[in-house]
Structure 1
Amino acid sequence: MTVLVTGGAGYIGSHMVWALLDAGEDVAVIDRLSTGFRWALPPEVKFYQGDIADEALHEKVFAENDIDAIIHFAGSIIVPESVSDPLAYYENNTVKSRALIAAAIRHKVPHFVFSSTAAVYGTPETPEPVLETARLDPESPYGSSKLMTEIMLRDAARAYDFVYTALRYFNVAGADPKGRTGQSTVGATHLIKVAGEAALGKRSHIDVFGTDYPTADGTCVRDYIHVSDLANAHLKALERMRAGGESIIANCGYGRGFSVLEVLETVKKVHGKEFEIHLAGRRPGDAVTIVANPSLAKRELQWVPQYDDLEFIVKTALDWEAHLARRNQR
């Protein structure tokens, strides 16, 4: 049996591919390489360059592989960009996901893991860690595009012989502790990635968007999860579905929040040097505070995080930035 990973050459997708191989799985990848890199993947992986909505590519991939599960990462993820160009996000994240789900059903793939997001919640009504049963109120087209896909999966699972797991990610950061892959996208907007680039001199400074939020220091608060722990949650979800588990939606975070300024101070502490910070106005679409209640994932998926340590997350991100700098010099 083969696991098909869409967007597998990207940041989270490449970590997933390595985790699957470590677990002894056969893996195939579809990626159009708009933000991902073929070199981020091991050579033994079957790689198909193309779009997840390409039906001819679907036929080729399913004909050449005995696929029993799809793990779907492919999509656009930048919140402010989704606000300025919402139709592009509905096309890339929702319409194309619909094409992939239809292909899975047509080819009788029984298991589907979807990369969803905490952005489906917007800013929760209370400051407590958010449960999956909380009100769904996206504040950006990005969050709405992901919620629409969750709805499609829910309805497809009711109508067909099809089981899915939707994992609502909180803020993913860090890099493979073994140094095999990391966040490599040029112009990435992830806070720890950008801070790492500023710390290593790849950027002149880092902008902090909004210092007047109703938080302890005026900056947004997020729950940061190490990318390898997130990949492991997908493995646990796949294991659960193969064992007969029903469809489920679960949060993936640690249940602790850090403000933007706290994260930047941690990067300075781990790196040991100062870097320039510019204070700017709020961006559209940013939630104030969002922290996961991960109890459902821990209970149902038997997920046990290994890297719940902001300094460790930052260290692996900085190590990867240094690796990229050496690689680019070569």
Structure 2
Amino acid sequence: MTHDTAPAVLNQSAWEDVFKGYEIVGVAIRDRDTLQTLARKAVTPEEGSHLLDGQIPTRIASIFLSDPEEDNVGYQELNGFAYPKLGVSRAPFERPGGLVTGMGKDGHAWPFGGGNGPMEMICPGDRPATLRLRCHFGRTYSVGLGRAIFRRDAVGQWTRIEGIPMSRDEDALQAAGFTDLDAFSETDLYAVGGHGDVWHFDGQAWRQMRFPSNEQLATVTCGGDGQVYITSEGGSLWVGERSTWRLLERRGSSILWNDTRWFNDQLWLASDYQLRVWNGREIAVPEHEGKPVLASGHMDAHDGLLVVADLWTVSTFDGREWRKVVAPYAD
């Protein structure tokens, strides 16, 4: 953060061991003292043109915010995961930790940080194509193309959520692929994606909800104020519930919001270039102690903590203070 002059949690030696030469592409909070990150080797366009996505060197790391400096990070290499997505697994599992999925035909999922492995398969042979992992009430959900939702019910056991029609037609995959899921409770869930494709689970059945636009949908957040917030193409923001929605702000961004989270009684939004909050009137730059908070990238919130990570830095906010966790050191 631009206003934070305190040293980063990770010292230079740890940063060089884990993050130097890599770009952070995912972050998640396991618990208030443990962050999970996903990083991939920074390759030039020329280097990338000779590699399949699954061949790009990838690292997953656990950062322990309360541990001594000399022992506050651990990482491992991850091989063969194309277009990886990062998530977490929590109670009721005995070993809460991180999860990484890949785009292979079996939907491989690798648990780490709370005990590593064994390798899991979300849906063998069926290419579940995970676009996002979300953990709600102790269960991790994989959402992806073709309105596919899978729930991790036990170690190595992923259950397909039934009752949502799916299609393998290419056009339908684009129009009806879930990109996010959030929940007020286990019997009040929302899944969004595709072109204005919104679904709700009421404890009995999944039903498609009317939405006033066929724009591409990116994220959904069930807010602490009882409202449901959905972002769409251009970075626009909608609010409502079930089949009643209204546009809060139309924006002209060329990219989608990566993540939205409810934290500290506000909706936070993060994209590759911006960190913003909805202040009840507009999407605004967040401020801390009278100064703008300059951050962007990916984001998560849990257990009274917000984390934001761009390609090179990771910062947390507990509602009172921003803390620099990872920052690049000069050579």
* TM-score of the two chains, using structure 1 as the length reference: 0.30
Richer in strand (by share)? 2
Richer in helix (by share)? 1
